[in-house]
Amino acid sequence: MKCSIKKRTYRAIYRLLDRVSPIPYDCGTLCNAACCTCAGDEPPDEPQLGIYLLPGEDKLFTKKEDWLHWTAEDASDYDFPDSWFGTVYFVTCLCAPHCPRNMRPLQCRFFPLAPHLDGAGRLRLIYSDLDLPYRCPLIDDSMTLTPSFIQAVYTVWKHLIRDCLIYDLVEYDSSFRQEENLRFIR
Ligand code: SF4
Ligand code: SF4
């Protein structure tokens, strides 16, 4: 898949998100880093919960990082928009939660927020509405998120959806949601 987001732009996005955090301290202390270490329903010898990379985000990695397990999948085998074809990379963290913080993939950095396009086509941010196999206190206890984190995540998504593939993904995910069930953050 050809993404218009350049490697240097992804680098700049990583740097921007390096400077913010959902709450003013390590939220992993609240839950024993549940989103990093949760095994989900997979057998112990199988790769556990993974993170998919956005198109082109893999350019930031060598794919030989010893803290990541890589899987290259065909987009058509997964729940992605029709415009997504070819390879999608999934990574699983092998030394969670002790990863190189400045190399965390974007989908990890955005959590617990997710982008949503509302009925008027405006970009909004919601608490992640994924069916999670663990409890995230930030979501379940509606903890106040730092304004700098919300602003940075919004700014990044505003930029990312200028790319057609990423816009299609956000639109696709949004189309399955009932807005009355969503918790809007912005
Ligand atoms: S994002 Fe949620 S589940 Fe993950 S470490 Fe923070 S509080 Fe725990
Ligand atoms: S990249 Fe790091 S913080 Fe994110 S899920 Fe993996 S181990 Fe946890």
Give tens-digit pLDDT for 85-128: 999 999 999 988 899 999 999 999 999 999 999 999 999 999 99
Q: Average pLDDT in the 143-154 region?
A: 98
Q: CA 186 to CA 179: how far, in whole Å?
A: 13
Residue 110's alpha-carbon distances to 73, 97, 168, in angstroms, are 22, 16, 18
86, 74 contact by CB (below 8 A): yes
Residue 1: pLDDT band with limits 50, 70, 90: confident
> Structure pTM?
0.94
Q: Ligand 2: which of 35, 92, 99 to mutate, most ligand atoms within 8 Å of CB?
A: 99
Q: Ligand 1: which of 138, 139, 146, 149 to mutate, most ligand atoms within 8 Å of CB?
A: 138
Query: Would you say residue 36 has pLDDT above 60?
Result: yes
> Is position 141 within any domain?
yes
Q: Measured in angstroms, how far is the CA atom of residue 24 from the centroid of ligand 1?
A: 13
Domain tally for the chain?
1
**111 Cα nearest atom in ligand 1:** 1
Q: What residues flank ligand 1, with Cβ below 6 Å?
A: 27-28, 30-31, 33-35, 111-112, 136-138
> Is position 92 within any domain?
yes
56's torsion region: left (phi>0), alpha (psi -120 to 50) or beta?
Answer: left
Domain that holds residue 23: 7-39+49-181
> Is position 54 within any domain?
yes
> Is position 186 within any domain?
no
Residue 2: pLDDT band with limits 50, 70, 90: confident
